[in-house]
Amino acid sequence: MQKGHILKSLRSLRAMVIHPPDNQGQELLAQLVRIGCKTETLWPAPKQFFDDVDLVFLEVSETVLRMAPSSLADSGMDRPTLVALTGYENPSVLQGLLDLQPDSVITKPLRPYGVLTSVVMARRIWLERKRLQARVAKLNVKIQNQQTLNRAKVVLMKLYNISEEEAYRRIRQQAMSKRATTVDIARSIIHAADILGDARSKNGGQ
Amino acid sequence: MANVKTRKAPWKVGVLFSQSGLTAIVERVQLNGVMLAIEELNERGGILGREIVPVLYDPASKAGRYEFLSERLLGSDGVNVIFGCYMSSSRKEVLPVVERRNGLLFYPTLYEGFEYSANVIYGGAVPNQNSVPLASFIFGNYGNRLYLVGSDYIYPRESNRVMRHIVRQAQGEVVGEEYLPLDASKKMMEKIVSDIKSRRPDAIFSTVVGDGTVKLYQAYKDAGLDPRSMPIASLTTSEAEVMSMGPEVAEGHITAAPYFNTLETPASTAFVGRYQRKFGGEGREVTGCCEAAYFQTHMFAQALKRAGTQDTETLRKALLGAEFDAPQGTVRIDPDNSHTYLHTRIAKVDREGRFVIEREVANAIKPDPYLVYPALNDWRLGLRRATLEDSQHTAFNE
């Protein structure tokens, strides 16, 4: 996601303000309207979280944190961008921030200045985290596939007394003729070896 | 103390415009706008029987002076309202002071947007109100290859970001982008102009401010360039700069502003006439920023009359959503963002150094200070030929 895109998309963001309807909440709401986000407010905090929101502002105090929707507490890939609002800097509130892992923080008393900067920074961090999470997931799959292939190669090498290159060549050949991926073939080989191994150890059992 | 009660105490207001230094050329006229309005109000008996008394300081276009003097105004002078500031840097100095002391700053100057303070009433245009109309006029009449030149501070940088985006929408091209220090020398100007000459844009978009403006237009003239085929289009070159560069240098160049002193409506003519009587001359140095300073002072007075107090909260309530028949036409303070609905006009300098208004938008444009990318095809910003009959300007009266 490009840096310019964050600024361009500001006006298409659907924002949700989870904050009591006091002066601070009103001030934030008015500033978000100026910035041009589509903004809704909600109080008290809902148990469940909606998936049609891009940006959530949530007051974090020791009591509010306990009420935070469970879907927010998990910084997984589906969580919207989260901006925490804090009025205190004491350790229990700070611990709350560490637990919640918001993408940005606005300290109260809130001033209109800085809200836009916080939103932009939060979006940047959120997009970056999303990108990294997707990358990590992809790398995980890659590593697992590599392990599967390696195990399959070892099976073939032992079985036919062939080199690693030859083992890989056979797996690939199978994959091409069966129109499957090398990983699928590798899995079948491991699976078959397991069954044969079980059978052999039972047959030759003392 | 007993004396004060028998003779009603005046309403004191602070006025903070530079009367010397690099931006005095513009700020002096803004100061006059405020002083003219105050005189008119006092001639009519003041507000609720109390005279308005300005407390004037000259920050001399110097960094640091605006903060110091606004502190003095709100602190020791006991003032609650300040009219002042031209450059964004000066507004940024005054801002923390009015916020901390909960005063009100009336800022009668165009600026780059992306600001909101409950302690400021913004009276000048933000980019959505003037950049798009100016660009569409240039594209329609000259072409879409632009050369951008500005003074090196936030307003030109941000204006050019907006302009680059508008040019892209028109599938045009930015063929050059240069920034100059505020006190740029003649030599620097000549260098830029020779670069312009070699790159041959369809027009030059200038946000050079202050004394540099005169030097730039002079260098353009000296290089033998022709405004009929490659004009300088500006948001900041006003009547004051044109007067100081002379008509032979300014002729043919273009400016977009909410107001020009050549606007021939009863309200505008009366305004210029009164300015003339007070300050002498022909009133030809009256600018859009002067008009903004003038109508903001009247809007303050109108609100003060309703509020009966200079208390910031009460005044602000009376100001937000208020309308006023300004010389430019009816203006209104947008309650959403404390900026002002303004008219937009495009004018070309004639042989006598007067701005001839060529186009205008039909209705005052809502300010949108947080708009990142103004759209070139926004029909609300469509221009029409400027004709007197169509305008619905109400004459200003008491």
pLDDT confidence tier of residue B63, bands split at 50, 70 and 90: confident
**CB B336 to CB A36 under 8 A?**
no
What is the domain extent for residue B138? 128-262+344-390
Nearest CB partner across the interface for A33, out of B336, B372, B373: B336
Spatial neighbors of B76 by CB under 8 A, at least 6 apart, are none
Cβ of residue B118 closer than 8 Å to a chain A Cβ: yes
Chain A residues in contact with B368 by the CB 8 A cut-off are: 36
Cβ of residue A169 closer than 8 Å to a chain B Cβ: no
Are B246 and B377 members of one domain? yes
pLDDT confidence tier of residue B8, bands split at 50, 70 and 90: confident
**What's the residue count for chain B?**
398
pLDDT confidence tier of residue B23, bands split at 50, 70 and 90: confident
Q: What is the pLDDT of residue B30?
A: 96
Nearest CB partner across the interface for B116, out of A8, A11, A112: A112
| pLDDT tens digits along B156-190 | 999 999 999 999 999 999 999 999 998 899 999 99
How many domains in chain B? 2
A78 pLDDT more than 60: yes
Are B92 and B162 members of one domain? no
B395 pLDDT more than 50: no
Nearest CB partner across the interface for A8, out of B117, B370, B372: B372
Are B117 and B153 members of one domain? no
Averaged over B107-117, what is the pLDDT?
Answer: 95
Query: For residue B120, what are the β-bridge partners?
Result: B105
Alpha carbons B173 and A154: distance in angstroms, whole number: 61
Tell me which of B131-135, B137-141, B374-378 is least confident.
Answer: B374-378
Return the closest-CA partner of residue B376 out of B133, B56, B52, B74. B133
pLDDT confidence tier of residue B235, bands split at 50, 70 and 90: very high
Are B9 and B98 members of one domain? yes
Are B304 and B180 members of one domain? no
CATH number of the structural domain spanning residue B76: 3.40.50.2300
Distance from CA of A126 to the nearest CA of B (A): 21
Are B270 and B185 members of one domain? no
Q: What is the pLDDT of residue A70?
A: 59
**CB A116 to CB B114 under 8 A?**
yes
Neighbours of B321 (CB within 10 A): 11
Q: What is the pLDDT of residue B394?
A: 38
Alpha helices by DSSP H, listed for A108-181, are: 115-160, 164-178
| pLDDT tens digits along B287-310 | 999 999 999 999 999 999 999 999
B1 pLDDT more than 50: no
A46 pLDDT more than 90: no
Chain A residues in contact with B117 by the CB 8 A cut-off are: 112-113
Are B353 and B207 members of one domain? yes
Q: What is the mean pLDDT of chain B?
A: 91
Are B138 and B95 members of one domain? no
Q: What is the pLDDT of residue B281?
A: 80
| pLDDT tens digits along A134-176 | 999 999 999 999 999 999 999 999 999 999 999 999 999 999 9
B203 pLDDT more than 70: yes
Are B232 and B304 members of one domain? no
Cβ of residue B313 closer than 8 Å to a chain A Cβ: no
Residue B368 lies in a domain: yes
DSSP B367: P
Tokens of B95: 């801002």
